[in-house]
Every structure is written in structure tokens, then in C-alpha cells.
Amino acid sequence: MISITLLIILGVLLITAFAVISTYNKLVSFKNLMQEAWSGIDVFLKKRHDLVPNLVATVKGYAAHEKQTFEEITRYRSEAMQAKGREAQMESEAGLGQALMRLMAVAENYPELKANTNFLELQKQLSELEGDLSLSRRYYNGTVRENNIYIERFPSNIIAGMFKFAKGTFFEIDAAEKAVTNVTF
């Protein structure tokens, strides 16, 4: 007959195996949620990249002497589109966002541009896009937070370490992007 000790040992092993499998599956879920959330951000970033040339071309017609701003936007857009990895893309996107804010500030100094229906439509699209991007960023950061908490929490941190699950990186707005842009001539 099977002894009580053997049954206890088998029970503990089964409970431990169930806990490890459950924790592993939860870590996989968090990783996939982060990837899905980043994919949502990526869609809005692509739309913003597509909108930028039209916006720059419209403003260029009215403010041709703002060459530095246009070059900066073009450079950041190119860097953002070619960025490898999330951290590099986050950094270049922050620069592009800051440059777009400067472009909009420059546009404020040209009344005829502010009355241009094409510019107004592009400005509206950009504003809506930035709102959607902000919501996507918030969702992504929420998935990163949940993933990171689970990876750091005991005993799931042991399983995460064994299977090399990595903490996610938050998509943060840097101090320069948070600041209000002032353009003076």
C-alpha cells in the first residue's frame, strides 16, 4: 500500500507544479499584453509619421524661413521610423513630439496659416491622433506596470528569473516634452 508520507510528498509536488505552471502562464499573458499594447501604439505612431509630411508642407508655404524646425521634424521622423527596439523608438518619438509642438507654436504666428482649411484639418487630425496615442500610451504603461509588479513579487519573481522573463520599459514623456514651448522672434 501507498504510505501516507508518499501521498503527502506527491500532493506537495502536484501543488508546486500547479503553482509553477500557473505563474508561468500568467507571466506569458503579461508579456503578450505588453506586446499587444505596444502594437496599438505603433499603429498611432505610423499614422503620425504619415501625417507629418503633409503638415510640414502646409506650414512651409507660409513660414519658409523656419528651416531649422522643418529639418528637425524631418530628422526625428526619420529616426523614429528607423528606430530599432522600443527604447530607441520611445526616445526618437519624444523628440518628434517636441518638434511638432514647436511647429504648432510657429504656426500660431501666421494668421493666414491658421485660417487655411487644409492646415486646420491637419491640425485637427494631429490633435486627435495625439489623444489616441496618449490613451494607447496609458494602456501600454498599465500593462508594463502589471507585468513588472508580478515579476518583482514573491514567489513569482523566482519563476520569472528561472524562465528569464524581463521587466517592461515604461513609455514616458521626458521633461522637455512636458514643458510648454515658447517661440519668440
Give how many domains the chain has, as a whole number. Answer: 1
Whether 23 maps to a domain, the answer reads no
What's the pLDDT band for 1 if we cut at 50, 70, 90? Answer: low
Whether 13 maps to a domain, the answer reads no
Render pLDDT for 11-64 as a digit per residue (tens, 0 to 9). 999 999 999 999 999 999 999 999 999 999 999 999 999 999 988 888 887 777
pTM equals: 0.80
Whether 151 maps to a domain, the answer reads yes
Render pLDDT for 131-179 as a digit per residue (tens, 0 to 9). 999 999 999 999 999 999 999 999 999 999 999 999 999 998 754 444 4
Whether 6 maps to a domain, the answer reads no
Whether 83 maps to a domain, the answer reads yes
Whether 96 maps to a domain, the answer reads yes
Mean pLDDT, residues 60-73 = 81
Whether 90 maps to a domain, the answer reads yes
Range of the domain at 170: 30-178
Cell numbers placing 129: 491622433
What's the pLDDT band for 182 if we cut at 50, 70, 90? Answer: very low
Whether 52 maps to a domain, the answer reads yes
